[in-house]
Structure 1
Amino acid sequence: MPRQLSQKDIEILKHLAPECNDLDCAGSGSSYKSILPPLANHFAVNESDFKDRLEKLTLEDLQYLLSLIENGSESLSCVPPHYMQVFIDLVTEKLGPEKAKAVFRTYILNPKC
Structure 2
Amino acid sequence: MARELSSRDIAVLKKVAPECEGLECAGSKAPYKSILPPLSNHYAKNEDDFRNRISALDVDDLEYLISLIKTGEESLGCVQSQYMTIFLDMTAEKMGKGKAQEVMSVYTKWNECD
Matches within 5 A, 1:92-111: 92-111=92-111
| Structure 1 stretches lacking a partner, 5+ long | none
Q: Is residue 2:70 matched to residue 1:70?
A: yes
The TM-score normalised by the length of structure 2 is: 0.97
Structure 1 residue aligned with 2:54 = 54
Q: Find the aligned partners of 1:2 and 1:94 in 2 and give their Cα distance.
A: 28
TM-score, L = length of structure 1: 0.97
Alpha-carbon deviation of 1:28? Answer: 1.2
Q: Which residue of 2 aligns with 1:11?
A: 11
Gaps of 5+ in 2: none
Q: Percent identity?
A: 52
Per-residue deviation, 1:112 = 1.9
Task: Determine whether 1:88 maps to 2:93.
Answer: no
Runs of 4+ aligned structure 1 residues displaced above 2 Å come to: none
- Corresponding residue for 1:38? 38
Whether 1:2 aligns to 2:5 is no
RMSD (Å), alpha carbons: 0.6
Question: What is the letter of the counterpart of residue 42 of structure 1?
Answer: H
Q: Aligned pair count? A: 113
